[in-house]
A and B are shown apart, each in its own frame.
Chain A
Amino acid sequence: GAGVSQSPSNKVTEKGKDVELRCDPISGHTALYWYRQSLGQGLEFLIYFQGNSAPDKSGLPSDRFSAERTGGSVSTLTIQRTQQEDSAVYLCASSYGGQHLGGGYTFGSGTRLTVV
């Protein structure tokens, strides 16, 4: 597609429920990143996928968080047993990856998750 697409745009869930967030990166972008941003805060790195390499999961805050990327394209971020502190905007970005960063990183419009 022309841009990075994320769905849903908004999600309200009850504490303890599982949620799945989806990201469809720009076609041809090999690198995909998940970040989250709490109100008034900076971007917190969660996980990074590059091609077929093993993902860098160093930013995942707990084992309730997991992500996968199928076929080197679409990615889903899953949060199990959601907690109120998980409430944030979850942003996905993609890039050509590696050293081809002239175009920087393109973000989707995010999923606003609210855990009640």
Chain B
Amino acid sequence: RKEVEQDPGPFNVPEGATVAFNCTYSNSASQSFFWYRQDCRKEPKLLMSVYSSGNEDGRFTAQLNRASQYISLLIRDSKLSDSATYLCVVSPTSGGSYIPTFGRGTSLIVHP
């Protein structure tokens, strides 16, 4: 099993739609979780951290389910500018290893 798994998509949705992505991780010692956004031929950029209690930033909501070892990202009222690849990032922050593991990303295409 891969350490961090994501559905590659693409998710093809109309403007205004709500879309959700999941990401599963295998290392139960994982402590830090993030969603990154990567535009074509650009570097990944932090979208939001994922906290145990869940967190929201405008149209974006992130959730963590430790029991089932997955995190999710919900995007409401999709915009054309949301089209990108969304990377799930998991970091153990224990046992002396702080190396983040990146999922391969989920591609989102928002069309008019």
Residues of A within 8 A of B (CB): 31, 33, 35, 41-43, 45, 48, 50, 56, 91, 97-99, 101-110
Contacts and interface: CB of A to CB of B under 8 A. Distances in A.
A7 to B, nearest CB: 14
A60 B23 CA distance: 26
Central interface residue in B31, B43, B49, B103, by most chain A CB within 10 Å:
B43
Nearest to B94: A99
Interface string B33-51: 0101000001111100100
A91 B102 CA distance: 13
The 8 tightest CB contacts between A and B, nearest first, are A42-B104, A107-B43, A104-B46, A43-B102, A101-B32, A104-B34, A48-B99, A109-B43
Interface of B: 31-32, 34, 36, 42-46, 49, 87, 89, 91, 93, 97-105
A107 B93 contact: no
Contacts, number: 52
Nearest to A102: B49
Contacts of B36: 104
A31 B46 contact: no
A43 B93 CA distance: 19
> Would you call the interface of chain A mostly helix, strand, loop, or mixed?
loop
Contacts of A103: 46
B89 to A, nearest CB: 7
Contacts of A97: 98
B101 A107 contact: no
B43 A56 contact: no
12 contacts: A31-B98, A42-B105, A56-B97, A56-B99, A91-B43, A101-B93, A102-B49, A104-B34, A105-B34, A107-B44, A108-B43, A110-B43
A105 B46 CA distance: 7
B99 A33 contact: yes
Central interface residue in A33, A56, A105, A108, by most chain B CB within 10 Å:
A105
A103 B97 CA distance: 18
A104 B89 CA distance: 9
A101 B102 CA distance: 15
A109 B38 CA distance: 11
B45 to A, nearest CB: 7
